[in-house]
Amino acid sequence: MGFLKNFLKSTWRDGVSPQGTSSFQNVSEEELNAHMGVARYGDFTLTDAVRPAYSLDVVPQNGYRHEWYVDHDSGTRVPVVMASVSRERLFDTFLGLLDPLGEFVDVVLETSHAGTNSGHTDLYREHIDLSVLQSILYDFEDMLLDDGCSGIAVLNPRKPMEVQLDEHKLMFVYGHDNSEYKTALESHGVAANEDLRFITEAEHVHSSSDEFQERFQQLCYHLGIDD
């Protein structure tokens, strides 16, 4: 079980139960490999970035729901649309959500490649033409979808609106005027489901590689970001 213990130590970063127990603890390496090899649940296909708990407390599915982001310092409440989209539609849906942001945007790349459990590092690029950004992102689709240590947020501070594709490959839209984004989601076959649970709301594991870390650094270079 040495491999399994190392696997859990290096990848089990969030979704931890209050008791600190894991549904992976008593599974064999063969059972673990079989679980990690399952990417499709019904009509939903996961990327390689993340896998749910062995106990499947949350089964991945398509949909979006409404939440609120609350700033603990100011008490400001911002509406959030959270979405989970199957792999085959995820990248195109994400790019489609960027169009309402406007001609010029800011970009934040998020990385946890350093290997700590304490959070991620944000790297900024201000004022880039949206069409140029989308063209660059097409060249890094594999990394953006399959790297469980990388995320990206695109925002227009003048609106203000923000669209995020996080490490779990969930999408978030922050901002008060989000009607266009809900229309865009539904045009890609993503329906509202206020009872939807996301993979982040239970134990789960992330996956990455040295190759993806190198690809992330290449994306930083193409965007003119010093990582």
| Structural element, H or E, at residue 87 | helix 87-98
Q: How far apart are the first and last CA of the chain?
A: 36
One-letter identity of residue 95: L
Whether this prediction's pTM lies above 0.75 is answered by: yes
pLDDT at 118: 52
| pLDDT(1) > 70 | no
pLDDT in tens, 75-95: 889 999 999 999 999 999 999
Torsion region of 84: left, alpha or beta (phi above 0 gives left; psi -120 to 50 gives alpha)? beta
pLDDT in tens, 118-170: 567 999 999 999 999 999 999 999 999 999 999 999 999 998 999 999 999 99
pLDDT in tens, 6-55: 344 344 444 444 445 788 888 888 998 899 999 999 999 999 999 999 99
CA distance 128 to 171: 21
